[in-house]
Structure 1
Amino acid sequence: MALSCSTDTLAVPQLFGGKILSFEANLVEKYNATAYSQLYYGHSTVTAKNLDFCNVTVTYTHPGQNDTINVETWLPIDNYNGRLHAVGGGGWIAGRYSPSYTAMSGAVSEGYATSTTDAGLYEQADMKPDSWALTSEGNPNLYLLNNFGSVSLEDQAIITKALISSFYGQAPRYSYWSGCSQGGRQGMMLAQRYPEAYDGIHACAPAIFWTQLLSTTFWPQLMMIVMDYYPLPCELNAIVMAAVDACDELDGIVDGIISNDEACTFDPLSVVGTSFTCSDTGSNMTISTEAAKLAKMTWAGPRSEAGKFMWYGPNVGSQLTGSTSTLTNDIGLAMTSCSSDGKCVGVPVGLGEVWIKYWVEANPDWSYENMTRAEFEHYVHASIQRFDSLIATNDADLTDYYKRGGKILGYHGMNDQIIPVKSTEHYYNMVKEFIPAADQFYRMFEVPGLLHCSGGPGGQPSNTFDALRAWVENGTVPESLPHSYTDDDGKEQNRLLCPYPKKSKIIHGARAVNGTYQSDDFVCI
């Protein structure tokens, strides 16, 4: 029977606690797009050519909450594989923006029905929450934060599955979620709070500890304020290079990547006074004590004035600065912007200071310029105390998801400069303590050299989603994953990715052929 892309033949989805406001179906014909692997997480780059699909948008509200939420679903006409591949958002956006559509283009080209939600958040051209964060001065928009944090995710699953059942005449055989960063956090929320929503969850570099993460990303900027020192980017880059030089070979291979982070004891203060040529100015400089302290404190993570641990920092050798663009693989927590005369100012990444402004302080006029360490400690505590239950995904009790047979698989870059990989390790250890058999349903693969979600010298995995699908559908346990990438010299390199806490080790006696190793030269230990 021919599929009909029409609201006349599609059943209006039913949503408990929600009211459908509008329901549109439009046939998209001869659709062409390229889904690059950088945003089609866990997949290779794919190209959609001359595809036909039914684009259904459901607009609804939660009566009494003054919200308007849109769920957009793409239903392939000719090549449907019987599966749902829902996608997440990034940063302050739940979905329905360019990266979501890139991932959806990849999914629909491979035969998946796919969907995304905007969680009822207003349009954000600059990807910041200024337009929706407050209902009025002093009053955070808790309804929208709740939608963003959790509620819209279950709604999306219910609406999308109802549309699939109506359009194809049967429910999807398997349902998957995929996302990175915010999308990873969304995936973990689904596993913790809505375990029946998806059979498999592909959660990469997840912002699990949202309230700790966002409030503490400001730590390096605070240290610049306290020291009254704002380094040129080249000075921090010189320290990063020194760290890589010191710790690269600890894994047995010199490849410009720190893989054995546990053995890396590099201290930035050890290179104070070292000369380097600054790419920003073309002049010779020496590494200052202040820049070394900043790098050391950034990588160590925030500490209270009394020296107590507050949260994790990026791994030693991770990128500290960047281009001040919105690209997540080219920013750092210690970014500065410098004028032609060499004077620099701090540039926050748009996470910590925004979170404090709109939620902790709830004051659009609040400014971070004169923040003290005591205030910083207060903001971190208040962030956790007030908002953990709304948006954090640090509940280690995944019993319901485990019992229903769900699987979680993702990757996290060891050079992630925004969401410390140690925070994901910490969460996995929490789950393992709560459920000793955690590795039977939850595996996280660490990727040496990978930045936040994509980018960096270690390459981005392109097989993790298929590994999740094989685990869910065939019971194929992902004990390790071969990983190929192109290095800075244009050579294809091969490594072996291992599920945490295992580490990839080169087999004794393995030799590179023409500068290239093979994945079977490594073993997970």
Structure 2
Amino acid sequence: MAVKRSGASRAATCCCIAAFLTACGGSGGTRGFPTVGIPPVTGAPPLQKLACDDSMKSRFAPDAATAVLMVKAFKKGDALLLTGTASPSTPVAQNDLCFVKLNVGPGNPGVADASSTSAGIGIEIWLPTAANWNKRIHVKGGGGWAGGTQGTLTGITPNSGSAGSASETAGVEGAVSATTDTGHAVSNGSFAMNPDGTVNTVLWKDFSGRGIHEMAVKTKALAKAYYGEDAKYAYWNGFSTGGRQGLKEAQANPADFDGILAGAPANNWTKFITTELYPQIVVQRDLAGVSITAAQHTSVSNAAINACDVVGGVHLGYVPDPAACRYDPTTDAAVICSADGGTNATAGCVTPAQALAFNKFWYGQTANGAVPNPAADNGFAAATAASQKWYGLARGSSLMGLAGATPFPISSDMVALELQDPTIATPSFLNATGNGADGWKSLTYPQLANAWDRGVALQTAFANINTDSADLSAFRDRKGKLISYHGLADTLIPPQGTINYYSRVATQMGGVAATQGFYRLYLVPGMGHGFSNGTSNASANPPLPTNAQLYELLTAWVERGIEPPVRVEATTLASASFPVVKSRPLCLYPLKANYTSGDPNLAASYTCS
């Protein structure tokens, strides 16, 4: 249910507007920040910096659409909560901080508490003390549908997934940080449909791009008003939806950020999310609605890993190069049930129809449910084949999030929005026309293909949510820097989509070498949807980078001109379960790690070529 936000302070005093016009998007300096000019000699005293108290509600008025909802000072060690009683798990302030909630209208009027009703874009901003500020802005992206509690008076957004929490960034790093609900509080796609079933173009616009742009503009303005000076650098840090948001900023608002870290970006939004429902349609149409069990998934996916993970005579436990993996369970007697002519008599055995279903999961959506022989096309090409609507997940990655007992909710929401029929979604999707009723179960292959096509055709109404423009010339020309990374065992977003996008950008921007001057991509074998093992093999323990490691590469590139290296070393963390530390180079795309000699589980045994 949407939470209505207070409209108080929307008509706040405007005496300070002129002082903040530049900070809200006026002419900028070399990095897209407003130039700090010398005030005219008028005899007027300089403006007083904002205090961390309720006076900010009347004194911070960058435009008529922006209202300060709350200001709260936290001391180091204070529990970070607005209501209720702290528990041992309640995060605490890592340093003295000023916490500010903003609302940026106009929102979307409608029935009170309806999912499609919004008071505006909620933004939370964390400001370290002046003494602790490192002169950076470092904001965080959202996840999923990117709704949240930013616009409420009762909740604090706890974290930003793989990018970490904004409060910790402000408290530990010393950077001003922020998050946004992109215009809605609900956690599913209900906000994006009007009560009559039509497209809610207002909230699609806020979700797709306006919410993140307003967060960038207002965070810069508030920092300048609070500290009395502009930030030197601004950074975006997001994963999944947050990765897509970072790409949107580079494409549509290239002056907002100097550096962007975009992990597993959820661009190509309608394409890959519609395809996320494809495994469920395969189950319904080919397997009579009986889902693959966890044991069957482990059996077949681990067999794929075992067939494709050998380097230097050693099984790595994860697939290092999914593009080269063409494992076909339909020809592997070791996974086929003995009753069907195979040699597997365990609960993890599969029928020939189920084995073929795995090939469909891995290949990705086709218009009629067909799948080519993996020996000829394993679905991992940089550009989709004519028969392929979009990519599937890589062999060896965990499929249970998409092919398990229930669909990934965003996928059924998205298909309901494309076909403008709420009943297609799961019951959590609420709308006056009719709530979700699991109508996705009856979809045929051609009907899902039609939904995919509708998603592309509706890009204007969806505010270009696909975020797939290959023209990054404005971002490049403003000296912006972009680092993207994607796990090759991602369990939700096929990494092939990121490879596809990077290849298109390189084609448009003058080739790979020219593109690498401002945009670099790293692919991470074995990494899932987050900094974790994404494979079906619980013992894989692949070497992974950290968000902090990649962020440091970005800041060094922006602030000191140090280019991210051709190879970045990823390591495992020693633990009781995995005492042996492994390492591996992550090679600058399109280079790959090639084994030379030595221990295949050590980075020194590889070259990037």
| Structure-1-length-normalised TM-score | 0.85
Q: How big is the alpha-carbon RMSD for the aligned residues of Structure 1 and Structure 2?
A: 2.6
Q: Is 2:300 the partner of 1:239?
A: yes
CA distance in 2, matches of 1:9, 1:492: 50
Cα offsets for 1:248-294 (capped at 9, x unmatched): 015765220111223222112122563799xxxx9645322122111
Q: Which residue of 2 aligns with 1:496?
A: 585
> Do the aligned partners of 1:140 and 1:362 also contact (CA within 8 Å) in 2?
no
Larger relative strand fraction: 1
Q: Which residue of 2 aligns with 1:286?
A: 349
Q: Sort the Cα spacing of 1:63 and 1:148 in 2 relative to 1 into closer, same or farther, 3 A.
A: closer
Q: CA deviation at 1:355?
A: 0.9
Q: Which residue of 2 aligns with 1:329?
A: none
> Do the aligned partners of 2:488 and 2:523 also contact (CA within 8 Å) in 1?
yes
CA distance in 2, matches of 1:302, 1:442: 29
> Do the aligned partners of 1:32 and 1:48 also contact (CA within 8 Å) in 2?
yes
User: Does the residue aligned with 1:158 lie in a helix, a strand or coil?
Assistant: helix
User: Does the residue aligned with 1:461 lie in a helix, a strand or coil?
Assistant: coil
CA distance in 2, matches of 1:376, 1:251: 43
Q: Is 2:393 the partner of 1:314?
A: yes
Q: Sort the Cα spacing of 1:198 and 1:272 in 2 relative to 1 into closer, same or farther, 3 A.
A: same
Q: Which residue of 2 aligns with 1:69?
A: 121
Match among 553, 556, 566 for residue 467 of structure 1: 553
Q: Which residue of 2 aligns with 1:12?
A: 60
CA distance in 2, matches of 1:158, 1:7: 21
> Do the aligned partners of 1:333 and 1:348 also contact (CA within 8 Å) in 2?
yes
Q: Which residue of 2 aligns with 1:510?
A: 598
Q: Sort the Cα spacing of 1:185 and 1:119 in 2 relative to 1 into closer, same or farther, 3 A.
A: same
User: Does the residue aligned with 2:326 lie in a helix, a strand or coil?
Assistant: coil
CA distance in 2, matches of 1:509, 1:260: 18
Q: Which residue of 2 aligns with 1:222?
A: 281
Q: Which residue of 2 aligns with 1:340?
A: none
CA distance in 1, matches of 2:516, 2:78: 39
Q: CA deviation at 1:118?
A: 1.0
> Do the aligned partners of 1:86 and 1:177 also contact (CA within 8 Å) in 2?
yes
Match among 137, 144, 159 for residue 91 of structure 1: 144
Match among 415, 419, 441 for residue 518 of structure 2: 441
Q: Sort the Cα spacing of 1:521 and 1:33 in 2 relative to 1 into closer, same or farther, 3 A.
A: farther
Q: CA deviation at 1:5?
A: 1.2
Matched length:
478
Q: Which residue of 2 aligns with 1:333?
A: 402
Match among 80, 86, 102 for residue 58 of structure 1: 102
CA distance in 1, matches of 2:273, 2:436: 19
Cα offsets for 1:298-341 (capped at 9, x unmatched): 111111228511101111111111xxxxxxxxxx21112xxxxx
User: Does the residue aligned with 2:542 lie in a helix, a strand or coil?
Assistant: coil
> Do the aligned partners of 1:137 and 1:362 also contact (CA within 8 Å) in 2?
no
Q: CA deviation at 1:105?
A: 3.1
Unpaired runs of 5+ residues, structure 1, are 35-46, 322-331, 337-346
Q: Which residue of 2 aligns with 1:328?
A: none
CA distance in 1, matches of 2:53, 2:418: 42
Q: CA deviation at 1:89?
A: 0.6
Q: Which residue of 1 aligns with 2:491?
A: 417
Match among 516, 520, 525 for residue 604 of structure 2: 520
Q: Which residue of 2 aligns with 1:481?
A: 568
Q: Which residue of 2 aligns with 1:454?
A: 531
Match among 450, 455, 459 for residue 383 of structure 1: 455
Q: CA deviation at 1:392?
A: 1.4
Code of the aligned partner of 2:188: K
Q: Is 2:233 the partner of 1:174?
A: yes
Q: Which residue of 1 aligns with 2:75?
A: 29
User: Does the residue aligned with 1:30 lie in a helix, a strand or coil?
Assistant: coil
> Do the aligned partners of 1:272 and 1:289 also contact (CA within 8 Å) in 2?
no
Q: CA deviation at 1:106?
A: 3.0
Code of the aligned partner of 1:429: S
Unpaired runs of 5+ residues, structure 2, are 1-47, 81-90, 110-117, 151-156, 339-344, 371-386, 423-434, 534-540
Cα offsets for 1:407-446 (capped at 9, x unmatched): 1112100000211000000000000000121111111111
Q: CA deviation at 1:166?
A: 0.8
| Structure-2-length-normalised TM-score | 0.74
CA distance in 1, matches of 2:49, 2:277: 55
Code of the aligned partner of 2:553: A
Q: Is 2:180 the partner of 1:117?
A: yes
CA distance in 2, matches of 1:276, 1:449: 28
> Do the aligned partners of 2:50 and 2:56 also contact (CA within 8 Å) in 1?
no
CA distance in 2, matches of 1:161, 1:198: 10
* Segment of structure 1 superposing worse, 361-370 or 307-316: 361-370
Q: Sort the Cα spacing of 1:94 and 1:480 in 2 relative to 1 into closer, same or farther, 3 A.
A: farther
Q: CA deviation at 1:33?
A: 8.3
CA distance in 1, matches of 2:555, 2:334: 52
> Do the aligned partners of 1:483 and 1:495 also contact (CA within 8 Å) in 2?
yes
> Do the aligned partners of 1:272 and 1:286 also contact (CA within 8 Å) in 2?
no
> Do the aligned partners of 1:28 and 1:53 also contact (CA within 8 Å) in 2?
yes
Q: CA deviation at 1:3?
A: 7.8
> Do the aligned partners of 2:199 and 2:420 also contact (CA within 8 Å) in 1?
no
CA distance in 1, matches of 2:418, 2:312: 43
> Do the aligned partners of 2:299 and 2:349 also contact (CA within 8 Å) in 1?
no
